[in-house]
Amino acid sequence: MASPRNACKPCRSSKRKCDRILPVCSTCRRMGRLCAYDEIPGQNSAYNIVPEEHGLSSPRASMLSATFGTVLQREVRSFLGTPDEMRRISNAYFGSIHYRLPIISEPRFNKNFPTLFTPSGIDFTTLCLCMKLVHTSPSQQVVGETEAVSPHYLLAKSSIGLLEATGLVTLDAIQSRLLLVLHEVGHGIYPAASVSIGSCARLARHAGLSKDFWHAQKAAITTADAEERRRTWWAIHNLDRFIALCGGDAILASEDATPDTCLPSDSEQLSCIVTSETARPTVSTPAPFRVGPFARECQVAHLMGRVVQHIFHPVADLEFRSRERFQLESTLKAFLPILIEEELEFSSYCGALGMCISSLYALYIAPTAHFNHNSEGDTHNLETISTQMTGLSQHLLKSAGNENTLTMMSLLIPYALYQTAAIQLNLYQRSRNFAFKANADLIIEILTCMSKRWCAAVKYLTALESDSPPGDVTTSGILSRLFDLGQRCWQSVKV
């Protein structure tokens, strides 16, 4: 029996009945010829790459189809599983990570979901890959597999690299890179995180997100699409400053906001249209006014960027530097009680709280902070701030100890917890006050729980365990040693 027109190539050559129905492209239908479908070895999935009837319109897209479609996307499809499995992953993502980083529009994601595994949806497929990657915890990995050499991580890097190499710069591609940065920061994969955030910022600028960001400040009406692009740029802004503070790098990849820059709306407003410009909070909105969790992170990240420049790129004028430090310290301290209160009541500000605490520690610990020779006051401030942080220990331990709430915690908090434990341990070594030791042990217990989700917490614990009592127990010696400990930990997570 002759095989049907849309039979596979092996069945046509053997003239047997084909039990697979393959589509026929418009060109072959018009020319009256048969489409040729080559078998892909080892391809057993029922969810193959679906050829589109009209094909890809540009040489660039054709190149992607020829390369990504036949090699990388086969591996991506294997990792993602069936569409139903990917749907479950996306639901879990929007119920956890999206709460802390609301950059992807769920309605737009659902609208684009049918393009999964199609050649023209390669950037969307890569986004799905990164969503699943960032949602994967260490306990879900293959035994003996490390985060730094995870095949799934390398697959995501390769997919994004191919999109960039072919010049396909879309919002999905930029968000894919941003989720990859999130994965690298959370699992302590450095210096890749620093390189990735720089690449992400430049791609976003090339795609016009920074122009849209500033233009949106003057717009009376903001659409959901414009809000999503603005949130994506804000997320780049925040992670860029966090990575710079941790790594001691004064060069930022994204431009700074201004006091009148509008903050992103609350997460539940993403699918709506914002029509009132006056109702939108700005970077300079006073701390007592309550804003959404992501908007608050943006406010504190802006201050963190100022701290980065103050510490790692200081001006020569000592008087100006003193005034600047006092202003930054006062502003961050004004935010601190608000962040603690909101975290205890609503569990919504832990990301902003972590950045605020780390920024204050940086002001007190960095060697450049001691040009005024007030190290005794800095030690007192470290004791006060770190003790305030330990006051949240029971609350954070309860959240970190529950598997469901652990996925809702920000990955920006472990670094602040690590710093807090280091300070409390050093204060204990100096005074032999067992209250400091008890505080540090409780913080270490929280980090141990968080290590089930983020590998960076494991590396912070290793740095704390390898620490030895200081030889210099003077105030200046303690401060200098704390800074060295932070830098040593940063170097350790780069391995």
Give the pLDDT band of residue 471 (cuts 50, 70, 90). Answer: very low
Element (H, E) at 375: helix 375-390
Give 88-96 contacts, CB < 8 A, sequence gap 24+.
89/128, 89/131, 89/132, 89/135, 90/128, 90/131, 92/135, 93/131, 93/132, 93/134, 93/135, 96/135, 96/407, 96/408
b/e map of 197-222 (b: 16 or more CB within 10 Å)?
bbbbbbbbbebebbebbeebbeeeeb
What pLDDT, in 10s, does the model give residues 327-375? 999 999 999 999 999 888 888 788 999 999 999 999 998 765 545 556 6
Sign, CA torsion 404/293/357/198: positive
Residue 159 vs residues 22, 126, 162, 187, 213: alpha-carbon distances, Å:
27, 6, 5, 20, 27
User: How far is the C-alpha of 220 from the C-alpha of 202, rounded, in Å?
Assistant: 27
How many other C-beta atoms can be found within 10 angstroms of the C-beta atom of residue 251?
A: 12
CB contact at 8 A, 418 and 489: yes
What pLDDT, in 10s, does the model give residues 263-320? 888 755 444 444 444 567 888 888 888 888 899 999 999 999 999 999 998 888 889 9
The arithmetic mean of pLDDT across residues 381-386, rounded, is: 92
What pLDDT, in 10s, does the model give residues 419-449? 999 999 988 988 888 999 999 999 999 999 9
pLDDT for residue 43 is more than 50: no
Q: Is residue 349 classed as helix, strand or coil in its secondary structure?
A: coil
pLDDT confidence of residue 94: 93
User: How far is the C-alpha of 332 from the C-alpha of 301, rounded, in Å?
Assistant: 11
* More confident: 145 or 232: 232
Q: Is residue 325 classed as helix, strand or coil in its secondary structure?
A: helix
pLDDT for residue 30 is more than 90: no
Q: Which residues 6+ apart lie within 8 Å of 240 measured at CB?
A: 197, 198, 201, 252, 253, 254, 305
Beta bridge partners of 274: 222
DSSP state letter for 72:
I
Residue 272 vs residues 102, 222, 227, 281, 488: alpha-carbon distances, Å:
14, 9, 9, 17, 46
Percentage above 70 pLDDT, the chain: 70
Q: What is the pTM of this model?
A: 0.81
How many other C-beta atoms can be found within 10 angstroms of the C-beta atom of residue 373?
A: 8
User: How far is the C-alpha of 338 from the C-alpha of 285, rounded, in Å?
Assistant: 13
How many other C-beta atoms can be found within 10 angstroms of the C-beta atom of residue 26?
A: 12
The arithmetic mean of pLDDT across residues 86-113, rounded, is: 92
Reference 175, options 265, 239, 220, 249; nearest CA is 239
DSSP characters for 77-127? HHHH-SHHHHHHHHHHHHTTHHHH---S-HHHHHHHGGGTTSGGGHHHHHH
DSSP state letter for 160:
H
Q: Which residue type does 367 have? A: P
pLDDT confidence of residue 470: 42
